[in-house]
A and B are shown apart, each in its own frame.
Chain A
Amino acid sequence: MALTCLRPIRAVIAALILAPGVGCAGDPARQPSSAGSEDGTDHGRTAHAVTGRGQSAEREWFTDGAPAAELDFAHFNGMSGRFYMPEIMGPGVGFLDYDNDGDLDVYFVQARMLEPGKTLQNALIAPHGPLPPTGRLFRNDLSVAGDGSRRLRFTDVTDRSGISAPGYGMGVATGDIDNDGWIDLYLTNFGRSQMFRNKGDGTFVDISRRSGTDGAGWAVSAAFLDYDRDGWLDLYVGNYLNYTIDADKECFSATGGRDYCAPQVYRAQPDRLYRNKGDGTFDDVTSAALVGAQFGPALGVVTADFDGDGWIDIYVANDSEPNQLWINQGNGAFADAALLAGAAFTGEGKAEASMGVDAGDFDNDGDEDLFMTELSGEGSNLYVNDGSASFTDLSAPSMLGPSTVRSTGFGTGWLDFDNDGWLDLLSVNGMVRAVEERLSAPFPYDQRKHLLKNLRNRQFEEVSAEAGAVFQLSEVGRGAAFGDIDNDGDTDVLVANAGGPARLLINEIGSRNHWVGLRLVGQHTTRDMLGARVAVVRGDGATLWRRIRTDGSYASANDPRVLVGLGDSAEVPTVRVRWPNGREEEWSDVAVNRWTTLKEGGGR
């Protein structure tokens, strides 16, 4: 075992990351090639990018790659001392390959001054970057050298992109709404939300009003899903509170200082479900399709087929009110099954302040389990699925409590950061109410991030201390997007901080293990087939399930591709795909340590 390749860490972690026989240097099985190359096989498979980089044993697991890559963005929250609630709720962030060049680009949500009559000069935290502050699109100009080494560099292309987002931004959702193969962009706002259609020439056009999705109010997280399996991506928008600046209420800490209000001070704003009509417009089908529950203040939304019936369901994380589990009835309607499913409350029956949420098969038993971040004092929650959308709260036995109970979590995701085949957890954190003793500071809500290692026994261990200096930064974490930004076969994380600089957490450890990277596109469209499920069947019969999605986390959009860690085995697995329309196909020759595109109809 090549333990000498690692920094000194606990033996148990080393054992889990480096199984016998895995070296640290480039593996012969990992042949380098240029990113984005097509192999043109008759199986509808496309070699998308390959990695083979040798890693320095001394490097940290994650490093902040933003400065070197010129990914220069800092969020501006417009605070002027009035404690308006939106100031502490944004921003999200998005990964999207808007120019279809095979690498992930980045969209940053931005905000503006909130207090009427105030200018940027009145901001307590000065803006950074182009003025006036608006949402920014950065193009990824990734280059891969012949030895497999990569250089990330980003270019701010906002001004030429046609995206104009001067509002008070909250989040990002991505999906190809017109099946033209170019990913579109939905921006949630405090104010009217915006839909931008990708024209395929590097520019977008604002179709907010025409699409019928420009709901007013306060939307935070949104998710694209094809709930009626008609081949067009529909849209679920999670709305937070009925809050306006005019109706802002003053809230105070126990000792009388001003602070942000708790959500209970305001009423929840109902969520919306928009059905894609296939002509660039959407119908608001909320009242007809979402039957049988009251809405809560939604902060996180994730879609997955929780009961395994082939129809995609929706889970909504609400702030201090019961969460919803909208089970797709297969007839255009959903029923909220959260209460009996054990997914509305903790095991004790408490509604907690759910913020970020993600679904993933962390115990490799073939179903989607739920993880959500909560308020400090509550601890993050793990609801384990028995395969029928019946959940058990295993938050305490999983040992998540001691690690997370002191943090207020927002962006989060299941990620196999070390590619050992088991989904781990990462969350970014930052308080919403200040500790009394820090109220004198201008924005005293910062906390550190968590990285939690899956111990393969339904328990987790916090490994943040070993994960690198970026995990020691105390910031007001909100959005987190997950994806392979440098196409090297491991999951990187883009973090958006409220009132602070963005961080690009480059994974330096995952590609030491073997992996399979998959992009799934449709038969009649080259769009990512959100909702498809992938089973990677290992030689020993063990199966790893993943799904195609961009949703989850908090107000953020993820890489639509799936990356499956294989540990120390370079054996070619069998890949089975269950497409959103229910069709199933199998591939037996998907290459290891490469990104591959699977086209519907190209398997057997």
Chain B
Amino acid sequence: MLTSGCGTRPDERAAPATDRPTGTLPAAPALPPATLPDLSHMTDSVRDQILELDRAVAEKTGNLDIQPAERSAAYGEMANLLMAARCFEAAERYYLHAQALAPAEIRWPYYLGHLYRTTGELRKSAESFERALALKGDDGTILLRLGEAYLAEGRPERAEPSFAKALSLQPGSVAAQFGLGRVSLARQDFATAASHLREALRLDPRAAGVHYPLAMAYRAMGDRAQAESHLRQWRQVEIPVADPLMRELDDLLQSPAAYESRGVRALDSGNWAAAAEHFKKGIELAPKSPSLRHRLGTAMFMMGDAAGALGQFDEALRLSPKFALAHYSVGVLMETSGRPTEAIARFTAAVSHEPSYIEARLRLAGALGRSGRLNDALSQYEEIIRIDPRVADARYGQAVTLVRLQRYQDALDHLSDDMKTFDQPSFALALARVLAAAPDDRVRDGRRAMAVMQALTPEQRGLDSGETMAMMFAEVGQFEEAVAWQRGAVEQAQRAGRHDVARRLAETLRLYERRQPCRTPWGADEMLP
């Protein structure tokens, strides 16, 4: 019931009878009066914006000396603002008036098509897009929207000509190929679907959303390998349709939420400066919004302004002292600026206000471990595992913390279990290290370490596994192999510019050259996630 129950203002204003476009639509039923919705719950800025526009609209629409096209535009302008404010019932009323006054104007049926799509009136949506198309039959965007409306309605046979015509107008249209692919899928013509969807990907390899229906087409054709391959490449992203008319609505509304939404979109697209501007405008309207402050701080941090970011985070916390996300962000800032004690305090505050905040606990555990508070770190990892037993980073952190606490058997047991649970080679690599280099004779088992490593593919072992391979060979007495692997690891660290790591690896290399095994599974610089 998205469009029902609209709270209409008590002073609702019926449309003047003379405003009816009787000359153009003599048989049309009377339009509902163009009235504003209840504005009482709206923030001041939006209410003022709507009321100000309402006055301007009233001046024009009430003056029959003004040309219908101009009055239509006035109704349409208000409709757009109401649509942006998601007041769909009221927006519909204004659009209908605009459409009636200017039946040749393409925008109003086009916007109505979107409005009805949003409110779930699929048949009316398709009818409105058809009406827009009748005014401009070669508009690719309308054709695409119409095809989408028909697909949503379960009428692929009606969708196909729209997508096909859109493609003929724009042969490089990914959206048209995507639409045709889904039409074929709906008809269970999987080969044709795959053909269209492959073509969409050829046109734009970044259109990752295409991979899912393509995978479904391959699955239906029995090609599981192709299906799995495309599922791996799939990301949930919209296939973009250039839609300048709808873009015009994006920036209409002046509310904190609207600015926040725009800012988040800019953040997501990596446009930090634009994001910051949007958040600042939002703060002008809602200076006490901790969320906007926090988002502005994030944008500033991404722009390299750590001090400015800290100021915004602190302000967010002044406004909302229990704002866990802001505590967390300050903690990250402290950590990256080499202030571990303050970082720990902030992460602690974050988890005290939001006990299930996994990322904050992970950061806290890591910071505690690096500060030498190993038992405290272990407690945090255990708490994360209690909250969510499937957080692999916590399992890994728990195991390496146990190693640092010299509880090698416990670490071995955990890693053995974790390796079965998590399909991640990091656990096998860690297990191999413990088996190859733990100081505890009861735990060490070079042969088993070798078996663990051999079970991994070269890709799973990764480029950084040389050190582990060297430990393993040294433990089973194959020092020549150990030396060769360790030398490779040293060179790799040097090439990567990690000279501190290279120095540590070189020290171990000298052990192997003296035919002595390694007894430190991890260096202090690589212990905790």
Please report A residues at the B interface, Cβ cutoff 8 Å.
Answer: 217, 242, 244, 246-247, 249-250, 252-257, 267, 269-270, 284, 286-288, 290-292, 294-295, 339-340, 342, 345, 347-351, 376-377, 379, 390, 392, 396-399, 401-402, 405-407, 431, 435-441, 444, 446-448, 474
Contacts and interface: CB of A to CB of B under 8 A. Distances in A.
Interface stretch (B38-46, B369-377, B496-504): B38-46
Contacts of B44: 256
Contacts of A284: 389
Given A217-B356, A446-B1, A339 B37 contact: no
Interface stretch (B149-157, B331-339, B519-527): B149-157
Interface string B253-291: 101111001000000000000000000000000100001
B120 A406 contact: yes
Interface in B135-185: 151-154, 156, 182, 185
A435 B356 contact: no
Nearest to A435: B2
A38 B8 CA distance: 61
Nearest to B45: A256
A406 B2 contact: yes
A7 B325 CA distance: 59
Nearest to B256: A256
A30 B425 CA distance: 65
Contacts, number: 192
B154 A437 contact: no
Contact of A347 (B89, B182, B253): B182
Contacts of A340: 215, 219, 224, 227-228, 231
B255 A440 contact: no
Contacts of A447: 1
Contacts of B87: 255, 436-437
Nearest to B261: A254
B215 to A, nearest CB: 8
Interface in B292-349: 322, 324
A348 B154 CA distance: 13
B474 interface: no
B390 A287 contact: yes
B216 A347 contact: yes
Contacts of A402: 122-123, 153-154
B186 interface: yes
B253 A437 contact: no
B209 interface: yes
B354 interface: yes
Interface in B50-88: 84-88
B152 A257 contact: no
Which of B209, B212, B228 counts the most chain A CB atoms within 10 A? B212
Interface residues of B, number: 75
Nearest to A448: B1
Contacts of A396: 151-154, 156, 186
B121 interface: yes
A270 B388 contact: yes
8 contacts: A267-B356, A290-B390, A347-B186, A348-B209, A396-B153, A396-B186, A406-B119, A436-B37
B3 interface: yes
B118 interface: yes
Contacts of A444: 5
Nearest to B417: A288
A377 B42 CA distance: 23
B9 to A, nearest CB: 11
Contact of A295 (B220, B354, B390, B420): B390
B43 A256 contact: yes
Nearest to A407: B1
Contacts of A439: 38, 41
Contacts of A440: 7, 38, 40-41
Contact of A437 (B7, B182, B234, B420): B7
A437 B390 contact: no
A488 B229 CA distance: 53
A497 B219 CA distance: 41
Interface in B411-459: 417, 420-421, 423
A407 B421 CA distance: 40
A401 B152 contact: yes
B358 interface: yes
Contact of A398 (B89, B154, B388, B389): B154
B245 to A, nearest CB: 19
Given A255-B43, A342-B219, A402-B123, A437 B257 contact: no
Interface in B200-230: 209, 211-213, 215-216, 219-220, 224, 227-228
B13 interface: no
A401 B153 contact: yes
Nearest to B152: A401
A270 B390 contact: yes
Contacts of A339: 231
A247 B388 CA distance: 18
A59 to B, nearest CB: 27
B324 A250 contact: no
A256 B356 contact: no
A488 B37 CA distance: 49
B90 interface: yes
A437 B227 CA distance: 45
A246 B358 CA distance: 16
B6 interface: yes
Contacts of A255: 41-43, 46, 85-87, 253, 255, 257
Nearest to A288: B421
Given A377-B118, A438-B5, A390 B219 contact: yes
Contact of B7 (A250, A291, A441): A441
Contacts of A431: 1-2
Contacts of B258: 254
Which of B6, B236, B353 counts the most chain A CB atoms within 10 A? B236
A347 B185 contact: yes
B253 A254 contact: yes
Contacts of A288: 417, 420-421
A291 B390 CA distance: 9
Contacts of B234: 349
Contacts of B286: 256
A286 B42 contact: no
A279 B86 CA distance: 55
A479 to B, nearest CB: 19
A593 to B, nearest CB: 37
Q: Which 9 A-B pairs rank lowest in CB-CB distance, beginning with the nearest? A: A256-B43, A349-B212, A406-B120, A287-B389, A405-B120, A242-B356, A437-B6, A257-B41, A396-B154
Contact of A294 (B40, B121, B356, B390): B390
A313 to B, nearest CB: 18
A447 B121 CA distance: 15
A353 to B, nearest CB: 14
Contacts of B41: 253, 255, 257, 439-440
A65 to B, nearest CB: 25
Nearest to A399: B154
Nearest to A258: B41
B355 interface: yes
